[in-house]
Amino acid sequence: MENSVTATARLVVDLDVTGATINRHVYGHFAEHLGRCIYDGFWVGEDSEIENVRGIRSDVVAALRALDIPNLRWPGGCFADEYHWRDGIGPRDERPRVVNSHWGDVVENNHFGTHEFMDLCELLGAEPYIAGNVGSGTVQEMSEWVEYLTRGDDSPMARLRRANGRDEPWKVPFWGLGNEPWGCGGTMSAEQYAYEARKYATFCREHSGNTLMRIAAGANEGDLQWTRALMEALDCVGCTMYGKPVYQAVSFHFYTHSGSGINTEDATAFTTEQYYDTLAYASEVDRILRGHIAVMDTYDPDGRIALVCDEWGTWWNVEEGTNPGFLFQQNTVRDALVAGIHFDAFHRHARRLQIANIAQTLNVLQAMILTDGDAMVLTPTYHVFEMNKGHQDAQSLPVHVLETPSTTARGAELPLVSSSASTKDGKALLSLTHLGAESDLDVSVDLRGRGARVARARVLTGDSTAAFNDVDTPEAVAPAPLEATLVDGILSLRLPPHSFATVELDVD
C-alpha cells in the first residue's frame, strides 16, 4: 500500500512516433429519455422562465459547446427499443402520451422528438447518432425514419417532414440498430440479433448523398462471443451494400462500479478500498478493448468495421430522495479519474475504436452537468472532457511508464499512474491521471524526438477523492494552473493526490 511520502513516476513520450488518429467521436455523448436528462435537462419548453432557444436550455448548450461535443446519441438506451418516432413529430399538443416503462414508469409526452433533437444537435454543433428501434419496432418504421430525416426529393417521408416545418433534409452520419438486444432491447441471443441487425441495416438506405455508419448493438462488457457472432454474420452472400459491409460498426457497453455490481455503492460515500476497487474496475476497459479488437482483427484485418463503445461511465446508487428509476447521481473526483483512465485507453486503441459515448450528458449517471431549477453545476467529469479536448482528431503518441507506484485492488496490482499523449498542428497534449489517494507524485517525463516547450499545464482535484461540486460550492473541483518545468527535454511536475492533469506543449 502507498504511504503519505511523495512518490515518483518516470515516463517517456516519443513525440516523433505518431500512431493512429484519435477520432474526435470518442468524445461523444448520450442523451436518453431517462429521468431528468431530456426533460428538465436539455428541454425546458418554449414557455419556460429559464432562458431557452426554441425550448432548449441556453446555459446548458453554452457549457456543452465549450467541450466541442462531436456527436450526441439519442433517444436511448433501453428507451430506443420502445420509441416510435412518429409519436414525436407534428404539433406538440397533439402528440400522443406514452409510458416510459424502463425509466420510472413515467408518462412521456413526446414534446422532445425528432425535430427538437436535430435542433439540439445544430445548437451544440454536434453530429446526430440516432438509435433506432429493433426490439419493438418494425423494419419499415426504421426505414421510414431514415427517409424522413435524410431524403431531399418529393418522397412520402420527405413530404411529411416538410409538412412539419423542415424543408431541407438533415445529415445523419450514425445509426444504431437497436440497443442492448441481449437485455432490454429484446432478450435475444447473439445469433438471433445478428440476423435482425442485417435485416434492419439493409433497409436503412443512404438517401440524397447522406452516408450512414450502421452500428450493430454489441456486447455487454467483455462478452467476446457476442462480437464474434456479429463479425461472423457479416460473412454472407449479399452482406455488402453500396460496396460496404451491411453494417459498418459493432458496439459494446462498459459501466464502472465497485464491489458486487451496479447500484451497490453511493456516489459520494465510499471507503479508500472501494475507491481503488473502482479505479481498478475502470482500468479493465483497456483489457476489454483489447479483447474485442483481437476478435475483430481476426475477421476484419483491414479494419473496415469500427468498434464503438456507446455507453460508458460510473453507475452508483441514486441520490437519496430521488426516483430510483431516474438514475440521478452526484459526481466526484473519483468519477473524474474514471474518465481520465477511459480516455487513455480510448487513445491507445484509436486504430479500431471510432466512437464512444459517455452515459449520460445531463442529470443521469456520470453526467457532465447537473441542473437544479434554473441553476446548473459543472461536474468534475465535465472538466476532464474540457481539459482533454485537444486530443480530438490528434495523432496518438506512445507513452511508456518506466516507473510508477502501485497498490493492490481487485486482487491484482494497480499502477497509480495512467497517461496518454497526442499531437496535432505543432502541439502535443499529455494527460496524466494520478490514482494515489494519499501522496503527492513527482513525475518526470522524458520527451524524446522533438523539441518542446510548455504552453500550459493544469490540474484538477479536490479536498478528497469524494469532493464534488454543487450549487453551493460549484468550484470545489475545478481546473487550476499547475507548475511544470521542461529542462533538456525532461518535463517535471508534482501532482497532488487523486488528481488529473494535462500539459499542453508547443513542439518543433
**Of residues 208 and 323, the one with the C-beta less far from ligand AHR:** 323
Could you tell me the three cell numbers for 352?
Answer: 479500431
Measured distance CA(86)–CA(141) in Å, rounded: 9
Could you tell me the three cell numbers for 40?
Answer: 428538465
CB distance 184 to 134 below 8 Å: no
What residue spans of 349-426 are helical by DSSP H? 380-387
What distance lies between CA 390 and its chain's CA centroid? Answer: 16
**Of residues 23 and 360, the one with the C-beta less far from ligand AHR:** 360
Measured distance CA(396)–CA(290) in Å, rounded: 17
Site membership for ligand AHR, residue 32 (CB under 6 A): yes
Among candidate residues 32, 116, 196, 311, the one labeled active-site is 311
**Of residues 234 and 250, the one with the C-beta less far from ligand AHR:** 250
**Smallest separation (angstroms) from ligand AHR to the CB of 389:** 23
Binding ligand AHR by CB under 6 A: which of 77, 128, 135, 137? 77
**Stretch binding ligand AHR (CB under 6 A), from 75-83, 278-286, 366-374, 394-402:** 75-83
Could you tell me the three cell numbers for 263?
Answer: 447500484
Q: Is the peptide bond before 398 cis (omega within 30 degrees of 0)?
A: no
Minimal CB distance residue for ligand AHR: 77
Letters for 322-351 (x = contact with ligand AHR by CB under 6 A, - = none) are ------------------------------
Binding ligand AHR by CB under 6 A: which of 179, 363, 439, 465? 179
Site membership for ligand AHR, residue 180 (CB under 6 A): yes
**Smallest separation (angstroms) from ligand AHR to the CB of 292:** 17
**Smallest separation (angstroms) from ligand AHR to the CB of 262:** 9
Site membership for ligand AHR, residue 443 (CB under 6 A): no
Measured distance CA(227)–CA(478) in Å, rounded: 39
Footprint of ligand AHR on residues 302-321 (CB under 6 A)? 311
**Smallest separation (angstroms) from ligand AHR to the CB of 384:** 19
For residue 406, the cross-strand partners are: 415
**Smallest separation (angstroms) from ligand AHR to the CB of 408:** 30
Footprint of ligand AHR on residues 218-247 (CB under 6 A)? none
What distance lies between CA 148 and its chain's CA centroid? Answer: 27
Site membership for ligand AHR, residue 113 (CB under 6 A): no
3-state DSSP assignment of residue 442: strand
Measured distance CA(274)–CA(280) in Å, rounded: 10
Q: What is the enclosing helix (H) or strand (E) of 37?
A: none
For residue 353, the cross-strand partners are: 307
**Smallest separation (angstroms) from ligand AHR to the CB of 78:** 4
**Stretch binding ligand AHR (CB under 6 A), from 21-29, 72-80, 274-282, 367-375:** 72-80
Measured distance CA(327)–CA(193) in Å, rounded: 28
**Of residues 76 and 186, the one with the C-beta less far from ligand AHR:** 76
Q: What is the enclosing helix (H) or strand (E) of 390?
A: none
**Stretch binding ligand AHR (CB under 6 A), from 73-81, 118-126, 423-431, 437-445:** 73-81
Could you tell me the three cell numbers for 241?
Answer: 451494400
The answer to whether 311 is a known catalytic residue is yes
**Smallest separation (angstroms) from ligand AHR to the CB of 187:** 13
Site membership for ligand AHR, residue 265 (CB under 6 A): no
Measured distance CA(101)–CA(121) in Å, rounded: 26
**Stretch binding ligand AHR (CB under 6 A), from 1-9, 46-54, 359-367, 452-460:** 359-367
Q: Could you count the other beta carbons within 10 Å of the beta carbon of residue 451?
A: 12
Binding ligand AHR by CB under 6 A: which of 76, 137, 178, 436? 76
The answer to whether 116 is a known catalytic residue is no
Q: Which residue, 324, 327, 326, 325, is CA-closest to 315?
A: 327
Site membership for ligand AHR, residue 359 (CB under 6 A): yes
Q: Is the peptide bond before 360 cis (omega within 30 degrees of 0)?
A: yes
Among candidate residues 82, 108, 180, 386, the one labeled active-site is 180
Measured distance CA(257)–CA(267) in Å, rounded: 10
Burial (CB < 10 A; 0-12, 13-18, 19+), residue 401, is: middle
Positions annotated as catalytic residues are 180, 311
Q: Which residues bind ligand AHR (CB under 6 A)?
A: 32, 76-78, 179-180, 311, 359-360, 365
